[in-house]
Structure 1
Amino acid sequence: MILVILLFVFRSRVLQYTIGRVITKVENKYPVDFNIGNAEFASWNTVVLSNISLTPHNQATLFTTDSVNATVSVSSIFRGRVVFRRLEVANGYLTAVKNGDRNNFSFLFKKDDNAPVDTTEAKGRNYGALLNRVIETAFDNVPDQVYFKNLNASYVSTNRTIDVKMPYFTMDDGKIDARMSVKVDSLENNMHVQGAIDPGDYVISVDLFAFDDRGITLPYVKEKLAGKVAFDTLHLSLTNKTFRRDMLTVRGSAMVNDLIVNHEKLADEDIHVKEGAVDYVVTLGPNLYVIDSLTEVRVNKAKANIYAAYNNATSKIIDLKVKTEEVPANNFFESLPSGLFENLEGIRAQGKLKYKMSFHLNMDSVNQVRFNSDLDASDDFKIVQYGNTNLKKINGSFVHTVYEYGKPVRTFTVGPSNPFFSPISEISPYLRNAILTAEDAYFYQHNGFHEEAFRQAIAKNLKEGEFARGGSTISMQLVKNVFLTRQKTVTRKVEEAIIVWMIENLDLVSKNRMFEVYLNIIEWGPDVYGAKDASRFYFGKQPSELNLAEAIFLTSIIPSPKRFRSSFDSYGNLRPYKSGYYRLIGGNMLRRGLISREVYDSLSPNVQLYGRARDLIVTAQDTSVVEEMDTTQFELNTIDLLDF
C-alpha cells in the first residue's frame, strides 16, 4: 500500500525524469533538437504529451505532432522506459526535405562510430538472426490499442514529391483498420487497409485494397524499370516464426487479385493474372537461404511446389526444384495469364499434366551443373480445340512472316506455290547432314529438347559471364520462327517450350516435315530465306547441287547470317579462321558415318562465289584481269613499232 502511495505521489516527477532521459538520449545520439512541450498524467496511468517536435541542427523540422495521449505501464516508467498500452496520436507531420546535398533525415542512417565492431560480419552476417530481432522488437512494442488521426508524411526534393495522408489508423483488440492516400509525383493511390494482429504469437494478417476503381499501381516501376505493376487487392500474412540454432523459419501467405504486369522484356502487352497466391515457408540462417518445398505457388487454378536454396558457407551453391501434382490439362491452360502466351490463349485439352524440374549449381564447378525438366501427360491427353494458332498448320502450305526486332519485314508462302520452296528430297544431303551435325545432332532421336546441350549451354554462359550459347534444338528454332515474334522476352522461351512439347509429344508434325520447313524459312543473308534462295545467292546453283564445302559454309553462317561478309576477304576467299570450323564439322560427319574418308580427305575450306553474293563481297580489283590487259597492250605496242 505504501508503495502504491509513493508511486502516485512521485509519478509526475518520475515521468519528467524519464522524459528528460529520453530527450537527452536522442540528442546525444543525433544532431537534433528534440522537444516535448508538456508531459503530464491525465489519470492514474494516462500520459498526455503535447507540442512534440524533432528538428535537425540547421535544417527544417523533420517531425511534429499536436498531442500524444497514451495509457502506459507505470512500472515501466520507473524502469526508465515507457511501455504503451493505449496510444492516441493526432495531427502528426513527418516532412523529409532534400535540397542538393543537404537534407534533414540522413543523420538517422549514419553509422555510429562508437558502436562496437561487428565481428560476426567477417564470418558472414546471419540475416535470420537480424530479421528475428526486427520481428520481435516490432511485435513486442505494439500497443494494445492504437488510434491515429490525421497522420501525414511527405518527401520533397528537386525532382520528386511524395505525399502520404492517413486520415485514420486504428488497432483495437487485435483488429487493424486504416485509410491511406499515397501520391508519388502525379501517381495517386487511394487504399483501405484491414487486418488482424496477435503480438504475443507474432501473427499478423493484412489486406490492402483499392478504395476506388482505379486499382493500386506501384510507383517507380515505370521510371526505374520501364514497366507497370498494378493490382486490386493484396493480402499478406505472417502466421508463425521459430528461431532455433541460429536459424529463423517464417511461415505465412500472400495473395494478389487482378494483377497487371507490363514490361517489354516479359511480353508484348499487359499480363493479367486474375488471382495469384503463395503459401510460403522460408528459412534464413548463417550463409543459408531456403524456400522450403512446402511452399506452394498458385496462379489461377494451377499449383506448384517450389524449393530453392542458396548456400555460400564454403562455395556458392544454388538449388531449385519445381513440382506439380497431376492436374487436369484444362486447369493448366486456363490458368496461363492472358497476354502472356498469345498462341495458346483459348486452347482446350483433355487428360492430365504433371511437371517436375530440378537444377543444381556449384559455382566452383560450373561444368558439373545439373538440370532436368519433365512435363508428363496422361495417356488420354490430347488437344480438342486449338486457341489463337493451329499448331498443325505447318503440315501443309502456310504463309510465313519474318520478324526483326518485333516488326514484320517479309511475308512468303512455305509450299509448292512458292518457286523458292525446296522439298527436303531436293536439298543436298551434304547440307542436311552438316546442319544436323552443327545445330542438332540428335534431332531425329529427341522429343524436342536436348537436356545435355542445354546443360552445357548453362555451363558455358556461366563461365563466360554472358549469353554465349543457347542450347536450342532445331524443333525450338522452328517454333520460334514459325509461331513466335522475334522479340526477346522471358515468356517467349516458356511459350516456345510448351509448343515444342505439344508438337513433338503429340506427333502433330513429323520430323521430316519439321526439318523441311526449317530448311525453307531460316535466314541466310540479306533478304535470303531458305536453302534454294541461299544456294542461288552464294553459288548460283540449286540446293541439290551443293558440294560438301559449300554446305559447311552455309551451315557456318546460320547463327549470324547478317555477318556473312565477315567469312570472306575482299577477293571472295574464305578467311583462314574458317578452316577450324571445316575440320570440326567434317570430322564429326566422318565419325557419324555421314561422309566417307575419301570425301573428308578431299575437303578444303574453299568455295567459289557466284550470283548476287559475289557483287556484295568481292570489292578488290581482279589483278589477273589487269595483268592480262597489260600484256595485250604490250603486244599491240610491239606490232605498232614493227609496222613503223
Structure 2
Amino acid sequence: MPDYNKQLLIRRSLQVLAGLFILIAIAFAVLFMYRQRLLRYAVETVQDKVEAKYPAKLFIGKAAFEDLNTVRMEKIAFVPNQGDTLLRTQEVFAEISLRTLFKGRVIFNELSIENAYLTAVKNPDGSNNYSFLLGKKKEEPVDTTKSRNYGILLNNLIEKAFESVPDQVSFKNLNVSYASEHRNINMKMPSLQIKDGEIKTALSVKTDSLVNNLQVHGTINPGKYFISARLYALDTGGIKLPYVKQKFGGTVAFDTLAVSLTSKDFSKNMLTVRGDASITSLKVNHPRISDSDVKVKSGSVHYVVSLGPDYYAVDSLTEVRVNKIKAYPVIQLRTKPTRDLIVRLRTDVTPATDFFSSLPTGVFESVEDMEGTGGLSYKLKSHINFADLKHLTFDSDLEGHDFKITKYGSEDLSRINKPFVYTAYEYGKPVRNILVGPGNPYFAPYNTISRYIKYAIMTSEDAAFFKHKGFHEEAFRQSIATNIKAKKFVRGGSTISMQLVKNVFLTRKKTIARKAEEALIVWLIENNNLVSKTRMYEVYLNIIEWGPNVYGIKDASRFFYGKQPSELTLGESIFLASIIPKPKAYKNSFDAHGNLKPRVAWYFKLISGIMLRRGQISQEEYDALQPRVELYGRARDLIVTAPDTAATDSLQLSPIDILD
C-alpha cells in the first residue's frame, strides 16, 4: 500500500475514534444532567409498586447523588396503613448500577446502611403490623389436573436473590424484633460486611429467655450462584434452636453449622441444585426419640436435589456421612397422577469397630463400645405407590463382611444362653425379678411345654420364627401398608425375636431409638448365631406376660387352668395365644359366667384352621375344637362375677327339701 493511502487510513481512523469519544462524552454529560431525574423516576416507580401491592406507605425522605453514581437516601420508613412502623432506617449510602435506572429499577453495586430497625408487633387484640405481607390474594380455584413445578419458582427466587446482592455491603447496628403477648424475639447485628466475596457478621439472638451469640463467615459469588456460610457458636453451650421445646417438646443444639449452594442448573423445566452441609456436636432430645440425649459428633451431606413438574428427587450423587459411616440415598417422589415414592439407601462397607463407634449415642446404648473384625454395610429398597398399597415393596438388609464380634458393648448379648434374671416392668416401673433357669420352680424347660401352645403362639405371632433371621419382611410390608391406609400406627411387624429382645435387653418405652436398637440387636443375635432358636423360644415362653403379675407359661397355666404347661389343650393354648398382645385385657374375652364371648369364636377358627393346613394338628383335633375353656383357680375368681344360678335352682327343686 502506498504511503499516501496509509496516512489517509490512519487519519480517518483517528477521526472516527475522536467522534466516538465525543459521543461518549456527550452521553456522560447528558447522563450527568438527567441522572437525578432518572433516580427520582426509579424511586417513585418503586414506591408506586410497593404501595399498589401492599396496604402500606413507603417513605423516602430524600434521595440524591453524592457523586457520579453514589446515592444517599434519608429517613426511609415502611408503615402499614393501620399499624406501627415496620421498618425504618436513618441513612443509606449506595453505589447504584446506572444501567438499571433506565429500567425503573434500583440495583446496588455497593450498599451501606446504619441504624436499621425492623419491628414486628402483635397486639393483644390480635392486630399486627406485618400480616399484610403474608396474606394471599384471592385467586381462582386451583386446577389440580395441572402440574406444579416448584423448580421454576425456586429457580426464579435464586436468580433474583443473587442478582440483587451488591458487590460491597456494610451494615452497622441492624436490629430485628418481634413482640407479642406471649413471645419476644430480638436480634442484634452489630455489623455485616460483604467485601470481595467474603461475608462476615456477628449477631446475638434472644428468644424469650434463650440467648444465642453467633458468628458467621462465608463467601459469595453471585455470578456463579455460589454461596457458602459457616455458623459458629460463641457460647460454650453451643447453638440451641428456639421454640423446639414449646412446639415439639424437645431440644436441638449444635456447635457449628455449614451450608453451601455450589451450583444450579435449570433445563427442560427441571431445576437441579448442588451443595454441601455439615454439622458438629449435634444433640437432640425428645421423649419420642430416646430416653436420653441423641448425639452425633459430626455429620455432613453433599446434596444433589432436583425439582420438576410434580417431581422431587434426591439424586444418587448425594452422599451422607455420620461420623465414619458413608451412605448414599436416593429419593424420588412423584405427585401426579398419583403419589409414588421410591427410596433407596446403601452404605459403604465400614470396618466393624468404626461402624459401632459411629452410631449416634443415646440410640444404640446396648452396643456402645462394641468391637469386631470385618465390616458391615446396609441396603434399603422401598417403593410405595399410594394408590396401590398391596404391591408395596420394602427390603432392608444389614450385611456382615467377614464380621465377628470380638468385644460386647454394655450388654452381653449371649447372656440368655445361661440362667439370668429377667426384670418385669409394668407402666415403666420394675415390678418383679424372675430367674430364667432351672433354679426357678416356675421355669418350664422347652421339652415340658405342650406342642399346642408352641404352635398356637407361632401361628398368631410369628409363623416363620424357626426359618427367618429375626425379621419377617412380608409382615413388615403389610404393617406399613396398613398404617399408611389408617394414617396412623395401628399395626406392628414384630417377630418373636424382636419381642424377646425388647423384653430382655431394652426398656419398655416406645421410642424410635428403642425400635432401631431392637432391630440391630436382633440382627446381631440371629446372624451371628449367638443364641439358638430353641433357647430363644424357651426364654420367650418363660417371660412374657399373661395376666395380673402372671409371667411365663407355667404361671399362666396354673393361673387360668390349674395345670402344668405340658397338659394344655388345643383350646386352652389358642386362648392363651389370643391375649399375648393385650394380656391385661384378658377379662374382656369372657362374660360374667366365665364363658368365652361369641366374638372370640372367629379367632379359634382362624388359628386352628392355619394349624391344620400346616399339619400341626389333625383333622380330628380341628373338628373337635370348641371355642370354650374351663377356668380354674385365681382366674375364675377374678373373671366369674355372676351368681351360680344353676346351683340355686337345683337346691330349690330338690325332693329332699320338699319332704322336709
* Shorter-chain TM band: over 0.9
1:410 partner amino acid: R
Q: What are the within-5 Å matches in structure 2 for residues 146-165 of structure 1?
A: 146-165=169-188
1:103 partner amino acid: N
Aligned counterpart for 2:502 among listed residues 470, 477, 480: 480
Distance 1:480 1:636 in 2: 61
Distance 1:121 1:74 in 2: 44
What does residue 104 of structure 1 align with? Answer: 129
The superposition leaves residues 204-251 of structure 1 with CA deviations (integer Å, 9 ceiling, x where unpaired) of: 100001012121000110000000000000000011111111111111
**How far apart are residue 318 of structure 1 and its match?**
0.8
1:353 partner amino acid: L
**How far apart are residue 420 of structure 1 and its match?**
1.1
| Residues 1:330 and 2:353 are matched in the alignment | yes
Distance 1:55 1:465 in 2: 45
Aligned counterpart for 2:219 among listed residues 196, 205, 224: 196
Q: What are the within-5 Å matches in structure 2 for residues 520-559 of structure 1?
A: 520-559=542-581
**What SS does the aligned partner of 1:577 have?**
helix
What does residue 16 of structure 2 align with? Answer: none
Distance 2:150 2:432 in 1: 55
What does residue 619 of structure 1 align with? Answer: 641
What does residue 518 of structure 1 align with? Answer: 540
Q: What are the within-5 Å matches in structure 2 for residues 43-442 of structure 1?
A: 43-99=67-123, 100-112=125-137, 123-379=146-402, 381-442=403-464
The superposition leaves residues 359-403 of structure 1 with CA deviations (integer Å, 9 ceiling, x where unpaired) of: 011111101111111221123x11111111000010011111123
What does residue 642 of structure 1 align with? Answer: none
Aligned counterpart for 1:454 among listed residues 476, 496, 506: 476
Q: TM-score, normalised by structure 2?
A: 0.94
| Residues 1:443 and 2:465 are matched in the alignment | yes
**26-35 or 342-351, which deviates more:** 26-35
RMSD: 1.5
What does residue 627 of structure 2 align with? Answer: 605
**How far apart are residue 121 of structure 1 and its match?**
6.5
The superposition leaves residues 238-270 of structure 1 with CA deviations (integer Å, 9 ceiling, x where unpaired) of: 111111111111111110000000001111001
**How far apart are residue 610 of structure 1 and its match?**
0.3
**How far apart are residue 42 of structure 1 and its match?**
0.9
**What SS does the aligned partner of 1:43 have?**
coil
Distance 2:558 2:323 in 1: 52
**What SS does the aligned partner of 1:514 have?**
helix
Distance 1:252 1:341 in 2: 30
Distance 2:647 2:556 in 1: 28
The superposition leaves residues 309-356 of structure 1 with CA deviations (integer Å, 9 ceiling, x where unpaired) of: 111111111111110122211111010111111111111111111211
**How far apart are residue 110 of structure 1 and its match?**
2.3
What does residue 491 of structure 1 align with? Answer: 513
Partners of 2:469 and 2:527 within 8 A in 1 = yes
**What SS does the aligned partner of 1:16 have?**
helix
Partners of 2:218 and 2:229 within 8 A in 1 = yes
**What SS does the aligned partner of 2:315 have?**
strand
Residue-pair matches, total: 635
**What SS does the aligned partner of 2:211 have?**
strand
Say if 1:122 and 1:179 are closer, same or farther in 2 by CA, change over 3 A: farther
**What SS does the aligned partner of 1:275 have?**
strand
Distance 1:29 1:596 in 2: 81
**How far apart are residue 562 of structure 1 and its match?**
1.1
2:135 partner amino acid: K
The superposition leaves residues 144-203 of structure 1 with CA deviations (integer Å, 9 ceiling, x where unpaired) of: 000000000100111110001100000011100000111111111000000001101101
Partners of 2:363 and 2:516 within 8 A in 1 = no
**What SS does the aligned partner of 1:594 have?**
coil
**356-365 or 17-26, which deviates more:** 17-26
Partners of 2:448 and 2:565 within 8 A in 1 = yes
Partners of 2:544 and 2:551 within 8 A in 1 = yes
What does residue 466 of structure 1 align with? Answer: 488
The superposition leaves residues 510-559 of structure 1 with CA deviations (integer Å, 9 ceiling, x where unpaired) of: 11100000000011111111000100110011111111110111011111
**What SS does the aligned partner of 1:243 have?**
strand
**How far apart are residue 405 of structure 1 and its match?**
4.0
**78-87 or 513-522, which deviates more:** 78-87
What does residue 66 of structure 2 align with? Answer: 42
**How far apart are residue 280 of structure 1 and its match?**
0.7
Distance 2:170 2:141 in 1: 38
2:347 partner amino acid: T
Distance 1:486 1:44 in 2: 74
**What SS does the aligned partner of 2:546 have?**
strand
**How far apart are residue 29 of structure 1 and its match?**
2.3
2:319 partner amino acid: E
Distance 1:33 1:201 in 2: 36
Say if 1:466 and 1:41 are closer, same or farther in 2 by CA, change over 3 A: closer
**How far apart are residue 492 of structure 1 and its match?**
1.3
Distance 1:541 1:294 in 2: 63
**How far apart are residue 488 of structure 1 and its match?**
0.6
Partners of 2:325 and 2:348 within 8 A in 1 = no
Say if 1:385 and 1:76 are closer, same or farther in 2 by CA, change over 3 A: same
Say if 1:551 and 1:328 are closer, same or farther in 2 by CA, change over 3 A: same
**What SS does the aligned partner of 1:13 have?**
helix
**What SS does the aligned partner of 2:274 have?**
strand
**What SS does the aligned partner of 2:362 have?**
coil
**How far apart are residue 125 of structure 1 and its match?**
2.2
**How far apart are residue 637 of structure 1 and its match?**
5.2
**How far apart are residue 120 of structure 1 and its match?**
7.2
1:229 partner amino acid: V
Distance 2:52 2:466 in 1: 77
**How far apart are residue 433 of structure 1 and its match?**
1.2
Unaligned runs of 5+ in 1: 640-644
**How far apart are residue 33 of structure 1 and its match?**
2.3
Distance 2:641 2:141 in 1: 68
Aligned counterpart for 1:586 among listed residues 608, 617, 638: 608
Say if 1:266 and 1:405 are closer, same or farther in 2 by CA, change over 3 A: farther
Distance 1:451 1:458 in 2: 10
| Residues 1:504 and 2:504 are matched in the alignment | no
**What SS does the aligned partner of 1:318 have?**
strand
Say if 1:392 and 1:617 are closer, same or farther in 2 by CA, change over 3 A: same
Distance 1:496 1:214 in 2: 32
